[in-house]
Structure 1
């Protein structure tokens, strides 16, 4: 702009020097002449500015080069946009050639007119192709240059718009794949037209040393509940196995849709049992790890109508308790360390029941002033005799009844309330579970007797954070639901429901963005039904966990942990274990 201003001043001064000083003009003619000179100068400056802008028009190519170097454009996107830009440049060059020929003809005509008489007029209705000012200065060429500059500006605007439309078309072109800017922990997102594909996951591994001892406790979570004393070392997964999660999303007719596939392989050899990939492992040569395909579901909805989910995913009841548990990315209670399965127990059975991955049709409402409701119908699950028998794992006397028939689904739901006040943030939730168990059977009753029971459970919890501090408190109570897993040992061999309850409290503090410490304590109790006598069935599982986390990069953090777990039977038997773990977790 400074160069343009200097050019304007020089042009005005030149016009002043060429006007004869002795020329006398009436005041209105002088004023008209001054205005015409100013108009001519402004037109000349506009022409200079637009010409300079035209010279810089190919900065679009430079911009594409920079975006490609910075990684904002893929090679395919860069090539497509550059081809379109060069085509536009060619069209502009052809138009420029036509304008030059037109301008040459007009300039020659104006020159001939100047030689024949230098037509002068101060009239505002002068021909647009022949503008003159008093004093003998013919500014027709200047006006023509300005007119051509205006044509160039219009052509540049058309080219810019065409390039913008081409860029927008490229973004939605299904033949061009682009990526979002990477955000740590959110996975990698690719876009193919209107479809987005997100890949995320994690990998973890720990060295764990466990010292276990005690007497047999049916259904106990302590490694010592098996009734022997031993030390064990393992290289294993923690509470989580590894995971590769693929999420495919799009929006059609205002409806957001997604398909999710979550594959969770373990490190150690698999030995299928009642818990499938989550059963105890088999540390024998030529083994293979278990692949746990936990998630297969779709969602559809939007912020106004809410979201419907159909498929297999984490259950509703107990889900917040799990996701807020600090042992989620550590080991917690090992469960068994001499032959590790896909995962450890974390705090399962020592503070909450495992929510599990359940086939479901569920609905989550829109967020309304921080309140959200989630309800669903689930695949009903069998009552299961997890504790075994009353003879230290052998013999005919089963400790719990079982079932295999269901005429109605399981129902689950919860209400959450999220709030923020400055640096203070929190969530409060309450949930429920209900299922009718039919045709119970055991060594005492047969399915033909038609014994049934309605299982009920409720939960409440809260998570609060203030700057570097975070606290979690959770409590559940159930009738017939059992302990550790859903419907594990919840009903007696005679068909009566056992009550159970549990809780955990947890606190953590982040010293900075890298270093964090956490500690938690949890208990799960399983009570006897009326008429039951003391047995080796578990009465109480409890554990204390302390962990140190160091976030080395956005992807990797190191973890060191100590945990103590104890299981107590109604008969007084106890099993204990103390474990120490160290390892790393990578999340992307």
Structure 2
């Protein structure tokens, strides 16, 4: 695959890598080497819902308007289908590369099956040298919380959010254990690898066009005071049959919001700083793998950056969460995985919990089987149970069974 994403079949996860150990389709082109890479995946999903509550920020959905509690869909999983192009060369003692990718997903609920627009999640260049590090400019996965999603076993499967075939992807563990790192314009610097230690720090596009609930709106566009700041540091180790990685990260954003709630003048701006920190570890010993992750934030929100992180007139909401994940490789080479994740969102000062429909927690349990049928093709079976609770006591539950496959090239 490309120099950004490689398949780690033994761990049933994907991991970012500055140098690929598994290449895609390599094409020499003069001074350049072109790597064509990606994946195709699809899953049949069967979901049963319980309750019919309307919960703001909830992951688990209720019954539909006709009180139906079961649905099916053929969806792209958490990882979008992918077609990427990476070019690399070395000039003037400098490693230079570019990456452009698109994501033509399976998920599409249009009558003719052709209404979903492909995503374009990567477009960036890098330059550097192993002696002093590298610089990245362009659009790529965010720095903060990226290791949380890239170590999630449901990246090879479905996780939460498989109720219909209309979404671009499912949610995996997004919103039930970590906040989505998203794909962001950025300028980032990564240090050389110092015997396993490496760090990245960068500025990202400010989150513009947000209301105070974290919803984008053309009428709420406001100038932002500064760039977002994100960073992470990690230490990787390996010895005999034991390996692992420990990481920490942080993010800071200064945000102005506009809100047109009742009693609030149109265009009134509210300014605040959102901060977040996380810590995680992945260790592998023989056939056993264990991952643990925790995050905490003020004004960060839940599921996606800044979503429900602020309440007009009350201020910032605190949030936290994490997940634990255990995997075991069977003699058949099939990877069995069991995971539990939860994301919590607190009320702001002065908010009342009585009859409050704001999400209190999103919780997920996943059991999965990931079987490498060939070097590049993995068969996947998952069972996911997701529960959403509101501060006022409302609740929804979804149970989903999924069968499918993911092919890497």
Distance verdict in 2 for CA 1:411–1:184, change over 3 Å: closer
* Residue aligning to 1:267: 106
* Residue aligning to 2:383: 562
Shift of 1:566: 0.6
Residue 37 of structure 2 is aligned to residue 200 of structure 1: yes
Distance verdict in 2 for CA 1:439–1:506, change over 3 Å: closer
Residue 232 of structure 2 is aligned to residue 380 of structure 1: no
Distance of 2:292 and 2:85 partners within structure 1? 32
Residue 233 of structure 2 is aligned to residue 415 of structure 1: yes
Distance of 2:301 and 2:311 partners within structure 1? 10
Residue 371 of structure 2 is aligned to residue 544 of structure 1: no
Distance of 2:374 and 2:274 partners within structure 1? 46
- CA deviation string 1:453-479 (max 9, x = no partner): 011000000010111111100000000
* Residue aligning to 1:67: none
Match of 1:489 among 304, 308, 311: 308
Within a 5 Å distance, the mapping from 1:19-418 to structure 2 comes to 185-214=22-51, 215-224=53-62, 228-269=67-108, 282-285=109-112, 287-337=114-164, 339-382=165-208, 383-384=210-211, 404-418=222-236
- CA deviation string 1:226-284 (max 9, x = no partner): 78542111111111221001000100011000010011111132xxxxxxxxxxxx342
Residue 294 of structure 2 is aligned to residue 475 of structure 1: yes
Shift of 1:407: 2.0
* Residue aligning to 2:16: none
Mapped contact 2:44–2:74 kept (Cα < 8 A): yes
Mapped contact 1:482–1:490 kept (Cα < 8 A): yes
Residue 277 of structure 2 is aligned to residue 455 of structure 1: no
Distance of 1:211 and 1:545 partners within structure 2? 15
Structure ranking higher in strand proportion: 2
Structure ranking higher in helix proportion: 1
Match of 1:502 among 304, 318, 321: 321
Mapped contact 2:319–2:343 kept (Cα < 8 A): yes
Distance of 1:442 and 1:554 partners within structure 2? 54
Distance of 2:347 and 2:40 partners within structure 1? 41
Distance of 1:537 and 1:461 partners within structure 2? 28
SS of alignment partner, residue 257 of structure 1: strand
Distance verdict in 2 for CA 1:307–1:184, change over 3 Å: closer
Shift of 1:287: 3.4
- CA deviation string 1:157-200 (max 9, x = no partner): xxxxxxxxxxxxxxxxxxxxxxxxxx995211111232100011
Tell me the TM-score normalised to structure 1 length.
0.62
* Residue aligning to 2:7: none
Mapped contact 1:217–1:225 kept (Cα < 8 A): no
- CA deviation string 1:182-227 (max 9, x = no partner): x995211111232100011000011100001221111100122878
Mapped contact 2:211–2:257 kept (Cα < 8 A): no
Match of 1:430 among 245, 248, 260: 248
Shift of 1:548: 0.5
Question: Which structure has the larger Rg over C-alpha atoms?
Answer: 1
Distance of 1:386 and 1:565 partners within structure 2? 23
SS of alignment partner, residue 355 of structure 1: coil
Distance of 2:370 and 2:113 partners within structure 1? 34
* Residue aligning to 2:393: 572
Shift of 1:517: 0.5
* Residue aligning to 1:520: 339
- CA deviation string 1:264-312 (max 9, x = no partner): 111132xxxxxxxxxxxx3423533320000000000010110100000
SS of alignment partner, residue 147 of structure 2: helix
Shift of 1:335: 5.0
Aligned residue pairs: how many?
380
- CA deviation string 1:130-165 (max 9, x = no partner): xxxxxxxxxxxxxxxxxxxxxxxxxxxxxxxxxxxx
Distance of 2:212 and 2:63 partners within structure 1? 17
Mapped contact 2:214–2:306 kept (Cα < 8 A): no
Distance of 2:339 and 2:214 partners within structure 1? 26
Shift of 1:427: 0.8
Distance of 1:543 and 1:466 partners within structure 2? 26
Mapped contact 2:380–2:405 kept (Cα < 8 A): yes
- CA deviation string 1:453-512 (max 9, x = no partner): 011000000010111111100000000010000110100022500000011000101124
Mapped contact 1:440–1:495 kept (Cα < 8 A): no
Higher normalized contact order (CA 8 Å, seq sep 6+, divided by chain length): 2
Distance verdict in 2 for CA 1:387–1:406, change over 3 Å: closer
Give ranges in structure 1 of 5+ residues lacking alignment. Answer: 1-182, 270-281, 389-401
- CA deviation string 1:354-377 (max 9, x = no partner): 000000000000011221110000
- CA deviation string 1:394-427 (max 9, x = no partner): xxxxxxxx77331200000011011123221111
Mapped contact 1:333–1:346 kept (Cα < 8 A): yes
Shift of 1:448: 6.1
Distance of 1:226 and 1:533 partners within structure 2? 28
Give ranges in structure 2 of 5+ residues lacking alignment. Answer: 1-19
